[in-house]
Chain A
């Protein structure tokens, strides 16, 4: 965790069963996520969905962000990763940022 001007950052690296890696970076200010990136060697189709999701998460609380993940990923095909992996990893990174 690091903190400057009320912004704190959390980073986690999570090894998904099956071998893929998910690396999450979040920045939080006053309980709201102001930046979220889900890096990793996973596959999501279409790929752009992840970036749209990251944009929509900005400005949201953790619970709202977890619902957004569900909304964006429920209808897309993924390989090597699940919705729960994204939700858990976000939560862990968020907790680190607090």
Chain B
């Protein structure tokens, strides 16, 4: 997919807590002057919920606090995600770069993850609206928002997954059916480790960046977060993402 600006800014980021991670993504959406890919990790582990979800309906809040798991609401829709053994991408671009439907833009922005899997010797494909599946099992899910003429899409890419641990935190509609649900999810979710791929996370970040650059026909330009971006992210962390008014507002 050719692009006229030819340069893809890549921010190879490190570990942050949930509030910092969501604040940095939003800051990049508003301030990054060019098409940007950020690759990052979560420490401590966290559950993020979609914009329209209710924290208390999705998550065992007390258990999460005891387990030291951060809880945060995203500015993007979609479902609750347990972030632990994963690499996360965020992609920021002008809306004009994707003139079609939201759905078609999802698929274009997800596609580099299919290329990433291919480079790792796996056959992935887009499944459902916003997922990537390998052998019919989900390995990645993405969510997108659009504001002020820009798109932010972020998503997970599972390096490992512990479904039992995930369901200690996520609430299910029926306790009676919980065991069955857990078994179903185990059958429907996979990770690089489960698929026999052993790669360290920094190396994986490089492969992902190369895949985005290749797909959008751009050159990688490594540019870390600027002072201005970090300042806005700090403000968003303190005034929005760390606050119950935001995380528990629905």
Name A residues whose Cβ lies closer than 8 Å to a Cβ of B.
Answer: 13, 18-19, 21, 23, 37-47, 50, 77, 79-80
Known: A39-B57, A41-B77, A41-B78. A77 touches B101 (CB 8 A): yes
17 pairs from A and B in contact (CB 8 Å cutoff):
A18-B129, A21-B79, A37-B54, A39-B53, A41-B77, A41-B80, A42-B77, A43-B129, A43-B143, A43-B144, A44-B77, A45-B102, A46-B146, A46-B147, A77-B102, A79-B102, A79-B103
B173 interface hit (Cβ, 8 Å): yes
B8-49 interface (Cβ within 8 A of A): none
Q: Which of A19, A37, A47, A80 contacts B51 (CB 8 A)?
A: A47
- Could you list which residues of chain B lie within 8 angstroms of chain A, going by C-beta atoms? 50-54, 57, 75-80, 101-103, 106, 128-130, 143-147, 173, 250
Within 8 Å by CB of A41, from B50, B106, B145, B146, lies B50
Q: How far, in angstroms, from A53 to B31 measured CA to CA in the complex?
A: 30
A79 to B145, CA, bound (A): 12
Q: Which residues of A lie under 8 Å from residue B78 when comparing CB positions?
A: 41, 43
Which A residue sits closest to B144, measured CB to CB? Answer: A43
Q: Is the CB of A43 within 8 A of B102?
A: yes
B108 to chain A, nearest CB (A): 14
* Contact B146 A45, beta carbon cutoff 8 Å: yes
List B contacts of A23 (CB < 8 A).
Answer: 54, 57
In the complex, what residue of chain A is closest to B101 when comparing beta carbons? A77
- Report Cα–Cα, A32/B145, bound state, in Å: 33
Residues of B within 8 A of A45 (CB): 102, 145-146
Distance in angstroms between the alpha carbons of A42 and B51 in the assembled complex:
9
